[in-house]
Chains A and B, each alone.
Chain A
């Protein structure tokens, strides 16, 4: 059986595919480094999960909250920070385009825009790599 965490992660990957900047370079789990044809990219990771409401009888959680971390990654000779900003705009436009998108077609309660983390830069390789973390907090019934 596919767990709700997996369903949510996969639904987000599917939802974020097809953006102008990243195309199909959206990955739900990353084991090997991204190759040249795989950037710019969006990495989708599920994080901390905690029960929000419990069933009075069984004590099992009926509502869970979970952190999701999107990593926007670009590799460019110049204007990499602008590329991250453009990609962030594309992601937000897609995420909040409709109620269906905000709920991942009913999988979760509507997503609200979350904090954007500090951008990071690495210039140790042939072109600078920049990444921007975007944090989302979702809640869902189990």
Chain B
């Protein structure tokens, strides 16, 4: 039986994605997931400009996704290089531009 708080947590996470999702992530094989995507400006070593792309999704939507998996967001192919679960039902995936 799902505990009351776990059920609440799942509803909150679903509401967060419903309100904040700004992209869909296509993992291939028909697996398309609503995600919160961001790619703010960042610099490497202080000398090379770039961005730090990442996406956040509900854990159950990205179950089985691992490091190295390819995902297309907003027409760009990315490789997943980091998986950062928050242990409350949501996970940030750190992305690398695979082009």
Contacts and interface: CB of A to CB of B under 8 A. Distances in A.
B89 interface: no
Contacts of B79: 77
Contacts of A122: 44-45, 48
A33 B48 contact: yes
Contact of B44 (A43, A71, A75): A75
The 6 closest A-B pairs by CB, nearest first: A125-B50, A129-B44, A122-B44, A33-B49, A126-B97, A125-B44
Interface SS of chain B: strand
Given A123-B81, A125-B42, A127-B97, A73 B50 contact: no
Given A75-B50, A126-B51, A131-B45, 8 more contacts: A30-B47, A33-B47, A33-B49, A34-B47, A35-B49, A71-B47, A77-B98, A126-B39
B46 interface: yes
A23 B81 CA distance: 30
A39 interface: yes
Contacts of A120: 45
Contacts of B51: 125-126
A81 to B, nearest CB: 15
A65 interface: no
Contacts, number: 60
Contact of A124 (B39, B42, B49, B97): B42
Contacts of A123: 81, 96
B52 A124 contact: yes
Interface string B67-89: 00000000000010100000000
B12 to A, nearest CB: 30
A128 B48 CA distance: 10
Contacts of A2: none
B24 to A, nearest CB: 19
